[in-house]
Amino acid sequence: MNVLPVSLHHSIHTLAERGWSARRIARELGIHRETVGRYLASKPAKVTIGSPPGEEASKPATNPAIGSEGEGADSKPAKVTTGSPVRGRSSCEEWRTPIETALAQGLSATRIYQDLKESHRFTGSYEAVKRFARAFRAVTDLPFRRMECLPGEEMQVDFGRGAWVVADGQRRRPHVFRCVLSHSRKGYTEAVWTQSTETFIRCLENAFRHFGGVPLRVVIDNLKAGVIQADWYDPDLNPKLLEFCRHYQTLLAPTKPAMPRHKGKVERGVDYVQENALRGRQFASLAEQNIFLAHWEATVADTRIHGTVREQVLKRFNTVERPALRALPAMLFPSFEEAPRSVHRDGHLEFAKAYYSVPPEYVGRRVWVRAESRIVRIYNQKMEQIGVHARIESGRFATSPEHIHPHKRALIEQGADYLLSRCRRLGPGCGAWAEAMYRNRGDYGIRSLQGLLHLAKEIPVGQLEAAAATALERACWRLRDIKAIAAAGDNVVQLSFLQAHPIIRNLSAYHIAFPS
């Protein structure tokens, strides 16, 4: 069995009297937790001055700070005061002042030992310095700083376990949502079945409506409904919850991970609800439990004299905090579904078994879809809107023309007017033939318009213009006619029939009058 020095033996009992757990004592003194438990189970024996080191296992000393040198002590354990270890006859005791100064500066035991040897001709061991520093830190824990808030500045939020709901022979235990205004301690409580984002938002909204206003910030822990990735410096917050906070013009402030005391007011508030209102009760439905909680809030929680502020909660809320809350918006936060989606290779994403297009640069990337009752909005990861569609039935496709890449957009999709305007740019002959051809053939001629534009890449424009003019005079409305005329080139003799010429007599000159 390991035998501890008398100083550590006494330190264990002293720290245990101060309410420290065995785990914490073991961590601070650098020994095994089972060893701490064994020494706590045994009563400290009386130690006489000058006890040798070999007898320290059964003879406790009064110095929790330092030393395995076996210095003597009183028979009763000495009381340790915050900020100063009990004085003993350690080899470090002579250098207490410089060691305390160095510890206050945050220096390590190694650095302190090096400085003592160089500057003060210290003859003790490094282990003695380490034990002295460890014991000094163990009794100099800083007190927590108490944080109080101005009226309307903060609301703390948390979840706990509600009372059992027994219905149809089945027992089910809901969650209980609890929020507390930090200044007045006015609370709101609601029992819910889930902790989803939608449920969390509705609970917050019900709390704001119950208070008649909105606080400056809402302090939450890192529950999944609000925080996607916990990080004290840069948390990844749920976009839907952020949109809710923008709607109500409040700030969402997650606590530091694994630091529940950052919202200590509501932590105790959840315990208060469970102990005072719900313990030993069960209800026939969730609605019955919420009715009871509302009555309890009004008749018990609001009328109590709070132990910290020494004032009735409801009175303090009505006179001080309610006027400081921000005004509620005119409308409730709109209800919508929201989820991340991946964009498929065809430029569409799937939501509720329907398909919606996005800009082509987002193919293969993750986007956010927000679906309201009639509209579907699509956002990128920066929550910038990149598309909007009317909501469609499952199995249908909604494709916006602007979401089709120009290289994937056929000319025929541009329509007849666009194609005719392109034909006019080739020249007056091509433009006149295109218009005449489309009037004669209708929609069947749209592909011929597209073919004429393609011919302009193979045939010189001048030659194509001449061929189009010839086809127009001959009333040839097929694209193959223009190709044949252009291929014949100068071998074609064009005969134009003139309606008027100086040598051509007018038909009236050939009028023959017959007697009646």
3-state secondary structure 302-344: CCCECCCCCCEHHHHHHHHHHHHCECCCCCCCCCCEEEEEECC
Decide if 71 contacts 5 (C-beta within 8 A): no
Contacts with 200 (C-beta within 8 Å, 6 or more apart), sequence order: 177, 223, 225, 226, 241
Q: Rounded to an integer, what distance in angstroms lies between the CA atom of residue 312 and that of residue 294? A: 18
Q: What is the pLDDT of residue 65?
A: 38
Q: Residue 176 above 80 pLDDT?
A: yes
Nearest to 201 by CA among 142, 265, 246: 246
Show me where the domains of the chain are located. Answer: 6-138, 154-324, 337-398, 411-491
Residue 489: C-alpha distances to residues 256, 466, 494 (Å):
84, 9, 11
261/158 Cα distance (integer angstroms): 12
- What is the rounded average pLDDT of the residues 431-451? 85
**pTM of the model as a whole:** 0.48
Give me the mean pLDDT over the 354-359 stretch. 93
pLDDT digits (tens, 9 = 90+) for 271-328: 889 988 898 899 999 999 999 999 999 999 999 888 777 889 999 999 999 999 999 9
Cβ–Cβ < 8 Å for 195, 133: no
3-state secondary structure of 169: coil
CB 152 within 8 A of CB 166: no
Q: Which amino acid is at 278?
A: L
The set of residues, in sequence order, having a beta carbon less than 8 Å from that of 142 and lying 6+ positions away, is none
Rounded Cα distance between 381 and 296, Å, is: 44
Using CA atoms, how far apart are residues 292 and 115, in angstroms rounded to an integer? 67
Calculate mean pLDDT across residues 107-126.
85
Structure tokens at 354: 């329907």
Rounded CA separation 73/76 (Å): 8
**Token duo for residue 287:** 């609605």
Residue 63 has pLDDT above 50, yes or no: no
Q: What is the average pLDDT across 103-118? A: 84
The percentage of the chain sitting over the pLDDT mark of 90, rounded to a whole number, equals 24
Instruction: Spell out the residues 6+ positions from residue 51 whose beta carbon is closer than 8 angstroms to its own.
Output: 6, 59, 61, 70, 72
> 32-58: per-residue pLDDT in tens?
888 888 888 876 544 443 344 444 444
For residues 28 and 132, what is the distance between their CA atoms, to the nearest angstrom?
Answer: 12
In this structure, which topology does domain 337-398 adopt according to CATH?
OB fold (Dihydrolipoamide Acetyltransferase, E2P) (2.40.50)
Q: What is the mean pLDDT of residues 458-468?
A: 87
| pLDDT tens figures, 10-28 | 778 877 877 778 888 887 7
3-state secondary structure of 402: helix
- Inform me whether the pLDDT recorded for 171 exceeds 60: yes
| pLDDT tier at 82, thresholds 50, 70, 90 | very low
Mean pLDDT of the chain: 79
d(CA 282, CA 289): 8
DSSP state of 81: B
Q: What is the pLDDT of residue 250?
A: 92
415: left (phi over 0), alpha (psi -120 to 50) or beta: left
Q: Are 238 and 226 in contact (CB under 8 A)?
A: yes
Q: Is the pLDDT of residue 367 over 70?
A: yes
Q: What is the DSSP letter of 450?
A: H
Q: Please report which confidence band the pLDDT of residue 422 belongs to, taking 50, 70 and 90 as the band edges.
A: confident
Secondary structure (H, E, C), 82-141: CCECCCCCCCCHHHHHHHHHHHHCCCCHHHHHHHHHHHCCCCCCHHHHHHHHHHHHHCCC
Per-residue pLDDT band at 513 (split at 50, 70, 90): low
CA 29 – CA 33 distance, rounded (Å): 10
Kindly tell me if the per-residue pLDDT of 417 is higher than 70.
yes
Topology given in CATH for the domain delimited by 154-324: Nucleotidyltransferase; domain 5 (3.30.420)
pLDDT tens by residue, 134-167: 877 655 555 555 667 788 889 999 899 999 999 8
Q: Please determine, for residue 343, whether its predicted confidence score (pLDDT) is greater than 90.
A: yes
- Whether the Cβ atoms of residue 432 and residue 443 lie closer than 8 Å to each other: no
Please give the residue that has the higher pLDDT: either 208 or 115: 208
376: which 2 tokens?
Answer: 């579907």
Max mean pLDDT among 84-98, 171-185, 433-447 falls in 171-185
